[in-house]
Amino acid sequence: MIGIPGIKRRKQTTYRQAILWLAMTAVVLAGIAMLSTGETERLQPASIYVVDGDTIDVAGKRFRLVGFDTPETYEPQCDYELALGNAATKRLRDLIASGQPLDLVILPGLDDHDRYLARFYVGGKNLADILTAEGLARVYLGGRRQSWC
């Protein structure tokens, strides 16, 4: 490259700084991703108590399973909601008893009812996707929930 030697040197330094900045950014983003995915625990079926279609108890801790909402079985607004909520609860129990690997990914924080937050996987598939595809749940990412009635 023809030019003033100091300019060439600055371009190399700037290039090196950019590479260093990108590398540091990648490390920070990887750390954030690890925090958002949480800690994964492999569970045994006997260690899980199903409260309803989107809530379980494990080792004395109550978990709200995130990413979906199932109809209420406690204080439902109508008979349809109760029937569908019971079906979602039964389906979750059946999936737990299916013999497939069960993974609980614990997320940071608690919900408004002081339940831990987690994602639940059955055989590597997200429970939210399973129940939603079967019409037993709706996608839910927070905020006001829709009525089932």
Q: Where are the domains of the chain?
A: 1-37, 39-140
Only one residue has tokens 């439902």, namely 76
Q: CA 134 to CA 131: how far, in whole Å?
A: 5
Burial degree of 137 (CB within 10 A; 0-12, 13-18, 19+): buried
Q: How is residue 69 written in tokens?
A: 């909402």
pTM: 0.72
Topology at the third CATH level for domain 39-140: OB fold (Dihydrolipoamide Acetyltransferase, E2P) (2.40.50)
Please list the pLDDT of the chain residue by residue as tens digits (149 residues).
Answer: 555 565 555 445 566 665 555 555 544 344 444 444 679 999 999 999 999 999 999 999 999 999 999 999 999 999 999 999 999 999 999 999 999 999 999 999 999 899 999 999 999 999 999 999 999 999 998 888 899 99
Encoding tokens for residue 132?
A: 């939603």
